[in-house]
Structure 1
């Protein structure tokens, strides 16, 4: 399997894991293109799992998936599918072109669901290892991505973070009412991490604008 094929397979596996754990209705039902990069498999939280180092690599992989490469996804718009394939075949493709079709519905290919790519039982509902990984980060809403060591959240973090942590901002599941909750026990993501709504790049607590795409960040 080539490098590009491996990235597509890993991207698909990560997507199916999250869907199986949190949105099983998406196994047979449609979801939007935007949900993939905003909620289900955002770049900032899943780049290591997918095997990409830069946001551009993530966008290239998602563009290929939506264009039908590998037969993993089915885009429910012939016009969108045709345009994405033409973009992908152009000499210098715009890898973020899929954002123009953010509201278009997409489905998992049922033929692929029965294949070896599907990872089942990967995300348990209650994993005790998540509690062992908890530290003293506190109740801050923003935080760094998982590659860096945990840090204490400064007192200047947004007020009202406690209310924001009543539900996981990624899978929307209710979080357990514990003094310190750093990881969602349902999808395994760091509940303190916030990514840019425009490009998915992870944000620093004090930033007002995304350093990657310039989108204004609303605290």
Structure 2
């Protein structure tokens, strides 16, 4: 098998797969090298190394060699004379781009004898018949784990603790008898006689426990309203402070009147301190 045979076989294969109408009617020469069997798309199947060898094989095809293609006699003779020269012009086939050619008569007869084989049509049975052949769920034996899980009732509490807790709760429920309901405690019952205290002891105990009214008042927190300044002047701006109510911040300059700062290091000090806790500077006169 040479280049001409491979080119012709590839041409027939492409026509049968993509252009079956060309098996029985002619087509243009330009379609040979542009659409039906172009070199750039069929190089591997043709096993032709160069484009020049492809053009020579195409000229042999147009010359009617081996009866592969049928066309005008003038075209066949001109191509044959060109191939007979020592250095043929391989691009001469472009001069016959509009000429009509067709496959050989032998190929046409072979394709006519070959009828496409139709695939056997599968019998489509009704869906009801197909569903009737499926096994029922009751016919399938369950697995061991499924049989065990179905034999034991599952409560809502078992979902939280797992299957182990379910089996334990089921076993304990089958063995342990139902417990009697517990008697609710009586809130009106008096305490036992052994725990009751004499009247004299109760009186002395009640006298020792201070009442909320007798409890010592808590010292006001620094910066609270209770520790504010009542009346007088602001020590920062000398503005008059409201009388009859405790003032924490000066209404004129906005300074906090419940604290003071060290004149040397500006450390925040509480009212009544005489020395700075950071540098030791005396602040008693502020």
* Structure with greater contact order relative to length (CA < 8 Å, sep ≥ 6): 1
TM-score normalised by length of structure 2: 0.37
TM-score normalised by length of structure 1: 0.48
